[in-house]
A and B are shown apart, each in its own frame.
Chain A
Amino acid sequence: EQQVQQSPASLVLQEGENAELQCSFSIFTNQVQWFYQRPGGRLVSLLYNPSGTKQSGRLTSTTVIKERRSSLHISSSQITDSGTYLCAMGLSGSFNKLTFGAGTRLAVCP
């Protein structure tokens, strides 16, 4: 059974601080996607990063396939970054089904 572990489970930051979220996989994967979700809200795709490093604004994801892990770095956090960050893995050729981690709940305080 494919498993995704995310750490930390929760994180509290002061506005302006950086955050590093981690994701590890039980198997080798060639599909990694990071999502953001507000309570009761839609999953918003942040980055699709199957390997290497990708950046989008203040977000940087690094995926190391051989180590079965991915990270999401949030720089200069803002109050509006508060919410849950979900990591998901999948395998192309298996209809790209995703397996999700439990998420990291981020709270950014003023």
Chain B
Amino acid sequence: EAAVTQSPRNKVAVTGGKVTLSCNQTNNHNNMYWYRQDTGHGLRLIHYSYGAGSTEKGDIPDGYKASRPSQENFSLILELATPSQTSVYFCASGDSGAPYEQYFGPGTRLTVL
């Protein structure tokens, strides 16, 4: 199974501060994704990437930036964190060809005070 890791696993940030969440995958997948999971909303797509150097907006990109410096790494950046961004964030990777399975990391629990 694909290995996807995330760091940090837990993060407490202050309102207005900058937060960077990191994701690494070791299976040479082209596509990577950032989701957030909230009670009542389920999992929602924030940003995704189809290869090194690319980032695309998902369904809820406002307040987030993404960076894909290499095939293996995909970061989610909160330039000015707000309490509404308190959530659990999941990174996933998947190949661009069939089968189109996605593999998820363990998640990062972010609390913005």
Contacts and interface: CB of A to CB of B under 8 A. Distances in A.
Given A40-B109, A43-B90, A45-B102, A97 B58 contact: yes
Contact of A100 (B42, B56, B58, B109): B42
B45 A43 contact: no
B105 A101 contact: no
25 contacts: A31-B100, A33-B100, A40-B107, A41-B106, A42-B105, A43-B43, A43-B104, A45-B1, A45-B101, A45-B102, A45-B103, A45-B104, A48-B99, A50-B99, A50-B100, A92-B98, A92-B100, A95-B50, A96-B94, A96-B102, A97-B58, A98-B33, A98-B43, A98-B45, A103-B42
A42 B56 CA distance: 24
Q: What interface size band does chain B fall in? A: 20 to 34
B100 A96 contact: yes
A101 B42 CA distance: 7
Given A42-B107, A95-B50, A100-B44, 5 more contacts: A40-B109, A42-B104, A43-B90, A95-B31, A98-B33
B100 A90 contact: yes
Interface majority SS on B: helix, strand, loop or mixed? strand
B102 A98 contact: yes
Contacts of B103: 45
A84 to B, nearest CB: 10
